[in-house]
A and B are shown apart, each in its own frame.
Chain A
C-alpha cells in the first residue's frame, strides 16, 4: 500500500484493505469453492481431449471472472478509502473544532481544530465527556441544546461559552448535527465549534464607536442649542438697548423742551419786560440748555455707532460753504476769547455726504481749537482740493497735544491731562464722533501737534465716492 501525506494513511490503508478483503472474502470463497468443485468434477468426467480442452477453457474463464471481480472490489475499496482520506483531510485542516460524541456525551472524535481551541489533545478527550469543556453552572445547556437539535431533526446552531484546559473561557458558536446509523436512528452528535471571540471583540468595538458617535452628536446638538440660545439672548439685549436709547432720547429731550420753551417766553417779554441782567442770565440758561442737548446728542450718536444704526443723509455738500458757516457760527465765541479766526477757502468740488453730520464734525473741531487756544492766539481754517480729494484743515496756536496723547486722541471718552487740568469742558466724545463721521464718508483724519505750539487737524474727503451708511 502507498503511504499518503496524511499521518493516518497507513492505518486507514490497512483498515480498508482488511475491510475490502473481508468484503471480497464473502464473494471469493464461494466462487473458488464452486470453481474447485467444477474443476474436479470436470476432470473426473472428462474422457476425450476435446472435453479436457473445454474443461481447461472453463477453468481459465472462471479464473478470469474471479480476478475481475476481485480487482473491481479492490478498486471500490480504494476509491472509498481515498474519499475517506479527503474528508479526513478536510476535518483535520479546518480551523474549526469538529467533535463527535455519543448520546451519553462520550467523545468519539476530536480534531486538531478542537485541540487548538481547547488545549486538550485527542488522546485526552476521546473516551472522555464533553462536560469537561463546559463551564460549571452551564451543564444544563448541553441537554437543552441536544433536545433542540432532536426537535429540529437537523442542524441547530447556538452561541455559548466553553472552558479551555487552562480554565479560561472562550466565546464559541456551536452547530450540532445528528449522526445516524443505517436504520436512521440518532446514535450520536456531531458538533462544529467555531471560536467567535474575534467577532465578539469587533462587535464590542463597533458598539463603543457608535456610542461615542452618538455622544459626539449629542454634544454637537447641545452646543448648537446653546449657541441658538445665546443668539436669542443677544438679540433680546440688542432690542433692549435700542429701546433704551429711544427712551433716553425722549426722557432727556422732553425737559429741555420745557426749559427752552419757558426761557423763550421770558426773553420775549411774555411775563413782563426784562432788564439787561435778567436777559443775560436767561441767555446763560439757554446756552447751557443747548449744551445739554448737544451732549445728549453726542451720547446717543455714540450709542448708535455701537449699534451700527446710524443713518447718514446723502446730499451734495460744498465744503467751502460748510466751513464758512462754521466760521460764522464760531465768530462770537472767538471774539469773546480774543482769538483771531481766519479762513482761506478755495473753490472745491461738491461731494456727496450728510451736511448735518459734516457740519457737526467741523463745529466740533473748531470748538476744540477755540477751547484749547489761549487769548491772543489764532485759529486758521483752510479748504482746498488735490487729486486725493477735498482737504479741510483747522490749525490753532493752542496748548498742543503730546505724541502719547495723539495716539489715543480719537478714542471715546479720552481727554488729555492738560484738558482736565485746565478744566476745559467736554465729554471726550467729540473727536471719536468726528472720526466716525469722517470715516463714514470714506475720508481720513490726522493730527499734527507740538506741545506749547499748536495743533492742526487735517481731514481729507474723497470726491465722487458716495457716503456710506454705518449700518451693516
Chain B
C-alpha cells in the first residue's frame, strides 16, 4: 500500500508542485494550509509522514510541531520541516521541537525525496 504524506504549506503553488513530485514518486498525498487544519487532518488521515512548512503564518509552523508532539497518537509520525530560514538557530529549534529532518527552501526535489525516503525507512 502506498505511504501517505501530509503536506502542510500555505502556498498553493508549492502544494501543487509537491503533489506532482510526490505523486510521481509513488506516494499518496493529503494537504493542509494552516495549523488547525493540519492537526485535524493528521488525526483523521493518519499519514505516514508529514512535510511541514515552518513559515506558516502567525508562527503556526512551530505550533503545529509542538502540538503534534503533544498528542500521543500523532507524536510518532516523522516530520520533515521545510523552511526558507537557514539559520542554525531555526534548525536547532525545529529539531528540538521534534522534527526529524530539515530541508531548506528552495529545495531540489531530489534532495527532498531522499530525505522523505530516509525518514520513512528509519
- A residues lining the B interface (CB < 8 Å): 246, 249-254, 256-262, 264-265, 270, 293, 311
Q: Assess A265 versus B17: contact at CB under 8 Å? Given A250-B55, A253-B106, A260-B106.
A: yes
Q: Is the CB of B84 within 8 A of A250?
A: yes
Q: Assess A253 versus B24: contact at CB under 8 Å? Given A258-B11, A258-B13.
A: no
Partner of A254, one of B11, B86, B108, B109: B11
**Chain B 80-107 interface mask (CB, 8 Å, partner A; 1/0):** 0001111110100000000000000111
Q: Assess A254 versus B85: contact at CB under 8 Å? Given A261-B109, A264-B109, A270-B20.
A: no
Q: Assess A249 versus B84: contact at CB under 8 Å? Given A254-B105, A257-B14, A258-B13.
A: yes
With both chains docked as a complex, state the minimum distance between the C-beta of A254 and any C-beta of chain B, in angstroms. 6
A-B contact count (CB 8 A): 54
Chain A residue with minimal CB distance to B11?
Answer: A254
- Residues on the A chain within 8 Å of B11, using CB: 254, 257-258
With both chains docked as a complex, state the minimum distance between the C-beta of B43 and any C-beta of chain A, in angstroms. 27
Q: Is the CB of B106 within 8 A of A293?
A: yes
Report Cα–Cα, A186/B13, bound state, in Å. Answer: 115
Report Cα–Cα, A265/B108, bound state, in Å. Answer: 11
- Residues on the B chain within 8 Å of A250, using CB: 55, 83-85
Q: Is the interface of A mostly helix, strand, loop or mixed?
A: helix
Question: Can you report 27 A-B residue pairs in the complex whose CB atoms are below 8 A from each other?
Answer: A246-B85, A246-B87, A249-B84, A249-B86, A250-B55, A250-B84, A250-B85, A251-B84, A254-B11, A254-B55, A256-B106, A257-B105, A257-B107, A258-B11, A258-B13, A258-B14, A258-B17, A260-B106, A261-B14, A261-B21, A261-B106, A261-B107, A262-B17, A265-B20, A265-B21, A293-B106, A311-B87
Q: Is the CB of B17 within 8 A of A261?
A: yes
Report Cα–Cα, A115/B42, bound state, in Å. Answer: 108
- Residues on the A chain within 8 Å of B90, using CB: 246
Name which of B88, B105, B106 has the most chain A CB atoms within 10 A of its CB.
B106
With both chains docked as a complex, state the minimum distance between the C-beta of B94 and any C-beta of chain A, in angstroms. 13
Q: Could you tell me which residues of chain B, from 6 to 52, have a CB within 8 Å of some CB in chain A?
A: 11, 13-14, 17, 20-21, 24
The 9 closest A-B pairs by CB, nearest first: A253-B84, A257-B106, A261-B17, A258-B13, A250-B84, A250-B55, A257-B105, A260-B106, A256-B106
Report Cα–Cα, A259/B21, bound state, in Å. Answer: 14
**Chain B 51-90 interface mask (CB, 8 Å, partner A; 1/0):** 0000100000000000000000000000000011111101
Chain B residue with minimal CB distance to A264?
Answer: B109
Q: Is the CB of B105 within 8 A of A253?
A: yes
Report Cα–Cα, A203/B87, bound state, in Å. Answer: 67
- Residues on the B chain within 8 Å of A256, using CB: 105-106
- Residues on the A chain within 8 Å of B55, using CB: 250, 254
With both chains docked as a complex, state the minimum distance between the C-beta of A152 and any C-beta of chain B, in angstroms. 82
Chain B residue with minimal CB distance to A259?
Answer: B106
Report Cα–Cα, A365/B17, bound state, in Å. Answer: 36
Report Cα–Cα, A450/B88, bound state, in Å. Answer: 42
- Residues on the B chain within 8 Å of A311, using CB: 87-88
With both chains docked as a complex, state the minimum distance between the C-beta of B23 and any C-beta of chain A, in angstroms. 10
With both chains docked as a complex, state the minimum distance between the C-beta of B85 and any C-beta of chain A, in angstroms. 6
- Residues on the A chain within 8 Å of B13, using CB: 258, 261-262
Report Cα–Cα, A246/B61, bound state, in Å. Answer: 14
Chain B residue with minimal CB distance to A289?
Answer: B106
- Residues on the A chain within 8 Å of B20, using CB: 265, 270
Report Cα–Cα, A270/B19, bound state, in Å. Answer: 13
Report Cα–Cα, A31/B83, bound state, in Å. Answer: 137
Report Cα–Cα, A149/B26, bound state, in Å. Answer: 116
Q: Could you tell me which residues of chain B, from 99 to 122, have a CB within 8 Å of some CB in chain A?
A: 105-109
- Residues on the A chain within 8 Å of B24, using CB: 270
Chain B residue with minimal CB distance to A258?
Answer: B13
Report Cα–Cα, A262/B14, bound state, in Å. Answer: 9
Chain A residue with minimal CB distance to B53?
Answer: A254
With both chains docked as a complex, state the minimum distance between the C-beta of A48 and any C-beta of chain B, in angstroms. 148
Beyond A249-B84, A254-B14, 9 additional pairs, beta carbon < 8 A: A246-B87, A249-B86, A253-B106, A258-B13, A261-B14, A265-B17, A270-B24, A293-B106, A311-B88
